Each structure stands twice: as structure tokens, then as C-alpha cells.
Amino acid sequence: MTWENLEYPKKVALARVIADAILADKIIDEEEIRKYQTLVGGNSTRVLFYDAMTFPLSHAVDVLQGNSDEEQEYVSDLLNSMIISDGVCTPSEAKFQTALEYCLKHNEMHFVGGKPSRKYEIKSFRLSDLYLGKRFVFYIEDKYNHKANAEIQQNYSIISRLLASIGFQFIYIPRMAQLYKDKGREMFEGMAMFLFPEINDTAISSAYETITRMTTADFVENYLAKKMGIDMTSVSPSLLVMLGKSNVITNHTSSIGLRYDTYANLLKINLFNDESVVQVVDKFVSDYNRRVSINHIFEYDPSNTKLLYQGMYKVFFNMVVLAEDNPTLLRVDISTKTGTVSINGRLVNLNTAPASLCVLIIWASIMGDKCGIPKYDCATEEQKEYWQQKYQQIYAIMKNDPRGVYEPRPIYNTIKNRYSELKRLFGETTDVRIFGEETCDAQKYIRFVMSAANVYVDNRPMKDDPVWVNL
């Protein structure tokens, strides 16, 4: 396997990953530059790098996950050589290298609730005014999992000390909530007076009630999703490892040239088949230690009950008391009465056919098998027939034609052009990515990439509407 054997989209994706690997330690080493230029070669270096910087790390990893075993081995070896080109593997590089090896080399597929899902995922989200930092590991879930929570509660000190040994703080929301509760309202209000003297007593009291009653599922939906902008659709018990930040070129320019958005990247480790949290954490710590040359020990004692205004405690307090919902998380409104789609109140210029295709992609991503719809060049005849049927149902709804008098054209005959048109029209309305192309169960899909919580049909959340649940 050589660089020349790779298809251009995979070259671009690999260039994106290499760039993030090089920048992981905030140092651009001369040897790294030489290796990159030798790899890419010739006059194409800058063009390829530009293309690579137009999308986030998560998209690049998704593209590379569809590689053959030979390609995956080549990519993994290449990335390893890039990261340790200077002979030193810093904590940031070790964390990044571990995450990539998980995703690209040892990422088995599981079926959860009939839906195929990989054990390891890279998530990228556009930053606004909140950043969690890069030395945290979160436990997350969208509904209470008795086994996982019981194990964490029983082994909290073990998990915390394992992660503290490599410089990470373990964040378990029920424990943080209980810590604030144990300190009491008076102490909370006193601390808030020092931190936020401009905030009135009513707001502080409300924040206390919110924090002390918070569950992990609440934190996922109301803070990770709504305030930070992370796609938290259908979250099984998982660990989130913060990886760091990277820049993405936008489709806009400023007076001084290109404009960049800053994205945060994280590794999501899904806990399949009731896996032991302690064992998963122990494996991550061991894999990290195998790589790191110089480690930094985070002085954190899990038995300490003092409310420190630093680290996650500071971020957590700011998030609840001050932060607004992430402005990049747009609301999608679908009107079946008018057959239209709007983004934050701005009507997207779609007639019935493309509007129905848009709704089909959204429904398939958040209500169907959650993969989206198969791409035009890899859909089987059986899949084409199935999705045509769903499209006709949605077309009838958007046409306000319950009897199905109007027969829509087959979507897979023209879906490539229709999809390109959708991306163009949505791009004219907002600079936030609405659709993406992802690999699911070794097949490529077109997918709605925003959170299900932000999709409304006739002012009702789609995910709660029986019509769409039972479509």
C-alpha cells in the first residue's frame, strides 16, 4: 500500500488527520514538515492541505474507517511515524494517537437495539463560548443504566485514581450534584456571590436547584447538546475523552483573508454488552502509558470534597449559571401545512420534492435506523424500494395529500443532483453543516448531522410525534 494507491477523498481525510496529529503538541517540528511534504509531494501539497482543512476531524475519521485492512494498517503506521517523528510523544500526542488507533485499527461493529454502531467514535463540535478543557473523561447516557451506574458508584475512587495517574479528571454528574447538595444552599449562594456578584438571588437559587437535581441524562440533553452543540442523538452508556481543539476553514472570508471556526474533538467509547467501566478505563490508561514519553500528573484526590473554583467545577458552574444555548445549534422547523422547511425562522427555498427528500433524510437519521439513507452509488435494489416507499409517504404528508393522489418521481434516479442542490440551498441559509456523509455497517449514508432535539414538525418535536415515530 502506498500514498498513490489511495483515492483522493481518502488522501484528503488522511491529510486532515495528519495535520491534527502534527498540531496536537502545539509544536510544528521541522522533521514533521519534511515528512508531510515528502508524502504528499509536488505542487499538490498546498491544495490538498487546503481541502483537508475545510472539514472537522470527525468527518476525516469517518472516511478512513471505510478503509480495507491493508489501508488501515498503512494509515495507522503512517500516523504513528508522524506523531513520534521528533522522538518524543507528549501527553496530547499520546492521547490523540490512542484515539486514532482505536477508531482506525480496532473498531469492531456492534448491534445495539438492531442498529449497527462502532465501539469508538470521534465527535467534533463547533465551539462558542464554552470549552470543557482537554483533561476530562465524562460518563454519559441518555437514560439511566442501572448496571453502569452501580459499578461507577462502587468503584468511583478506583476509576478516578486510574485516570488521575495519567492527568485526567473523571466527571460523574450524580457525584458532582451530590457534592453541591451536601454543601447546602447557603454555602452555594455564598460561593456564587464571590464568583458572580452581578447575578441576582433568584437566578442563583434556580441554579442551585438545577445543579443538585441534575442527572447524567439531563446533563447530556441540556448542556452537552443544547449549550455546547455536541450531537448527542441516541446515547448509550459511554465515556467521553476530551482530545483538544482544531481549526476548520469556513466558506466565508474576512478582510484579512480566510475565516476559521474552532472545533473541539473528543473520543466517544461506547460501553457495549454491559462492559465493565473499570476495565475499559484501565485499558485506556494502559494504552496511553505505552505511548507517552513524558507524563503530567494531575493532582486530584477523589476523596476531596472541597468546591474548587478550577477545572470542571468552574466550567460546570459557568455552564449552568451563565451560558446560553449554543448559537450553532439551529432549530429546524418542518410545516406539513405549507410543505416547507425553515432554519431558525428562515425559509429554505425548496419545492415539495426536495423538501420531502430533506425530511426523509432527517427522519431516517433520527427516527429510522439512525444511519440516514444509503448513498446513490451503493444502495441495493431492496433499499431503493424501501426508501422510495418512505419518500412517497413523506411526500404525501408534505403535499398535504393523505390519499397520495400525487405520485412523486423515484428518488434514486436523481438523488445525487437533488442532494447537491439541498446542500447548496441550506448553505445559502446557514453556514452550519446540516447534512453529512458517513459510513455505517460498511455502507455509505447521507445523514442529518444535527441533534434530534432541534427538529420540530408543526411546532412539535419530531421525536415525540406519533405520526413520525410510527411512519
pLDDT (mean) for 71-80: 78
Q: Give me the DSSP letters along 144-175.
A: --HHHHHHHHHSHHHHHHHHHTTT-EEE-HHH
Confidence at 149, pLDDT banded by 50, 70, 90 = very high
Confidence at 256, pLDDT banded by 50, 70, 90 = very low
Domain 3-105 has CATH 3.40.50.970: no
pLDDT (mean) for 219-241: 82
Position 371 scores a pLDDT of: 77
More confident residue, 458 or 67: 458
* pLDDT, tens digit (0-9, with 9 covering 90-100), for 275-324: 899 999 999 999 999 888 766 555 555 555 555 445 566 667 767 766 56
Position 239 scores a pLDDT of: 95
Residue 286 Cα distances to 30, 163, 324, 352, angstroms: 30, 10, 38, 54
Short-list 183, 161, 162, 160, CA closest to 171: 160
Among 10-19, 309-318, 462-471, name the one with the lowest average pLDDT: 309-318
* pLDDT, tens digit (0-9, with 9 covering 90-100), for 97-137: 899 889 887 777 776 656 667 889 998 887 765 666 678 89
pTM over 0.95: no
Answer whether residue 442 shows pLDDT above 90.
no
Position 159 scores a pLDDT of: 95
Q: In angstroms, rounded to a whole number, what is the distance separating the alpha carbons of residues 290 and 416?
A: 45
Position 99 scores a pLDDT of: 92
Q: In angstroms, rounded to a whole number, what is the distance separating the alpha carbons of residues 99 and 105?
A: 10
Answer whether residue 152 shows pLDDT above 90.
yes
Mean of pLDDT over the chain:
80
DSSP class of residue 327 equals T
Answer whether residue 253 shows pLDDT above 50.
no
Q: In angstroms, rounded to a whole number, what is the distance separating the alpha carbons of residues 114 and 133?
A: 34
Answer whether residue 437 shows pLDDT above 60.
yes
Answer whether residue 264 shows pLDDT above 60.
yes
Confidence at 251, pLDDT banded by 50, 70, 90 = low
Position 66 scores a pLDDT of: 65
More confident residue, 320 or 85: 320
Position 205 scores a pLDDT of: 83
More confident residue, 230 or 264: 264
More confident residue, 380 or 254: 380
Position 366 scores a pLDDT of: 83
Cβ(311)–Cβ(133) below 8 Å:
yes
Answer whether residue 255 shows pLDDT above 50.
no
Confidence at 1, pLDDT banded by 50, 70, 90 = low
Contacts of 233 (CB under 8 A, 6+ apart): 365, 366, 370, 451, 452
Answer whether residue 58 shows pLDDT above 70.
yes
More confident residue, 13 or 428: 13
Answer whether residue 39 shows pLDDT above 90.
no
More confident residue, 196 or 388: 388
Answer whether residue 330 shows pLDDT above 60.
yes
Q: In angstroms, rounded to a whole number, what is the distance separating the alpha carbons of residues 49 and 362?
A: 31
Q: Across 78-87, 133-142, 400-409, which has the greatest mean pLDDT?
A: 133-142
Domain spans in the chain, listed from the N-terminal domain onward: 3-105, 119-176+217-321, 332-469
pLDDT (mean) for 158-183: 90
Answer whether residue 9 shows pLDDT above 70.
yes
Answer whether residue 254 shows pLDDT above 50.
no
pLDDT over 90 for what percent of the chain?
18
Cβ(265)–Cβ(245) below 8 Å:
yes
Among 52-61, 186-195, 423-432, name the one with the lowest average pLDDT: 423-432
